[in-house]
Amino acid sequence: MNSPTAGSKPLLSKGMMAVIAAQFLSAFGDNALLFATLAVLKQLVYPDWSQPILQMVFVATYIVLAPFVGQVADSFAKGRVMMFANGLKLLGALTICVGLDPFLGYGLVGIGAAAYSPAKYGILGELTDGETLVKANGLMESSTIAAILLGSVAGGYLADLNLTSALLACVVAYALAVVANLMIPKLAAARSGQSWRPAAMSASFFRACRVLWRDGETRFSLVGTSLFWGAGVTLRFLLVLWVPVALGITDNKTPTMLNAMVAVGIVFGAAAAAKLVTLKTVGRCMPAGVLIGVAVVAFSLQHTALNAYVLLAIIGMLGGFFVVPLNALLQMRGKQTVGAGNAIAVQNLGENTAMLVMLGLYSLAIKLGAPPVATGVGFGALFALAIAVLWGWQLAQKRKAVAS
């Protein structure tokens, strides 16, 4: 391990390791709970098109709470905010576990996740600095993806064995995440003393939106990450319907295993980004974004499990390489302008709006009878085109800046 440069904060501090552990446990619970709750919907004989609605309920909480959660993250010690948010997730998982409405329980988890996100990313800029921030993001994404890998597989596998056991595993994961949050040092609030009147908080948030969307670099990051995560969540639900059609497999475990391959790929892609991309060379990630769409098209046309696993791992690697530098860029620029918590809240608004729109279109397509394979091909082609347009726009902005 390289020693930190003079004046820089070490990457693997006790605080950072506690954050990574808490993130792993929380993300494990999120992903296991999704597939366990999808199994609940199957058991209760909900229609296929209702599955993305479950995620839309989750996503809607991010959008509704976006004006407020960034200020919450910046007004209190971020480790304590993370602990409170994981407590809400624990409550939501318990709600589903005891047999109450799954959409209500998953909505509570969404509220916790909305509060958790600005704190978990914002704290990276407080525990590290510009020298190690991209690497810290790589650690965070690797931890998240490892949790997606294990949580998705555990959720699907346990749901096939015993649905109650799958739900209880999620409860335990969230409880352990709360304990891990207690190990995070209580750092000073980034921006204390702000108004807590809803009108003032909303005005402050939308000022932060204007600042970040007017800045060329942060606008580039916001658009890129929004497209990526909107596409990622849609692909996750597409797999649930694609597997029975393309592979002839109807269990809960196979879609989770395929999602896990994306997770494995993202770990390697994030590691490559940490080594090959800096805040000054973020543009290097754009070709990977275009290739994600191309790979999704190729994947959608497969009919053998081996090819599907390989292509999803490649999609994951491209995704990790694409999104990690964009996250780091936004955190650094956001910290310098509107506060890291506010910057992540603005990012969450963009990402979750994209998710809501893409999931809504996907749910509509399925309800209208669109075949999963054709849906995947069209989805991949549109994503590749969108990233290509974003890349061209970025290059044009750079040429314009040089010319002026």
**Dihedrals φ, ψ of 246, to 5°?**
-85, -35
The DSSP letter of residue 101 is -
Closest CA to 312 of 327, 321, 322, 302: 302
SS3 for 185?
coil
Q: Are 141 and 19 in contact (CB under 8 A)?
A: no
CB atoms within 10 A of CB 247: 16
Q: What separation, in Å, do the N-terminal and C-terminal C-alpha atoms of the chain show?
A: 42
Q: Is the pLDDT of residue 42 over 50?
A: yes
Check if CATH label 3.40.50.2300 holds for domain 14-185+197-202+212-403. no
Q: Is the pLDDT of residue 200 over 90?
A: no
pLDDT of residue 4: 46
Binned at pLDDT 50, 70 and 90, residue 288 comes out as very high
For helices 305-337 and 216-246, give the axis angle rounded to 10 degrees.
160
Distance CA 45, CA 92 (A): 21
Q: Is the pLDDT of residue 6 over 50?
A: no
Q: Is the pLDDT of residue 260 over 90?
A: no
Q: Would you state the structure tokens that stand for residue 97, as one six-digit string?
A: 């576990």
Q: Would you state the structure tokens that stand for residue 327, as one six-digit string?
A: 């996250």
Q: Which residue has the tokens 């849906």?
A: 375
The residues near 332 (Cβ < 8 Å, ≥ 6 apart) are 125, 130, 133, 279
The residues near 95 (Cβ < 8 Å, ≥ 6 apart) are 101, 104, 105, 108
Q: Is the pLDDT of residue 190 over 50?
A: yes
Q: Is the pLDDT of residue 80 over 80?
A: yes
Distance CA 381, CA 389 (A): 12
Closest CA to 35 of 53, 51, 24: 51
CA distances to 112, 240, 258, 352 from 152, in Å: 19, 12, 9, 21
Q: Is the pLDDT of residue 13 over 80?
A: no
Q: Is the pLDDT of residue 348 over 70?
A: yes
Distance CA 124, CA 23 (A): 12
Binned at pLDDT 50, 70 and 90, residue 1 comes out as very low
Q: Are 184 and 22 in contact (CB under 8 A)?
A: yes
- pTM of the complete model: 0.71
Distance CA 263, CA 2 (A): 27
Distance CA 320, CA 330 (A): 16
For helices 340-367 and 50-75, give the axis angle rounded to 10 degrees.
170
User: What integer best gives the mean pLDDT of the chain?
Assistant: 84
Binned at pLDDT 50, 70 and 90, residue 381 comes out as very high
Domain boundaries, the chain: 14-185+197-202+212-403
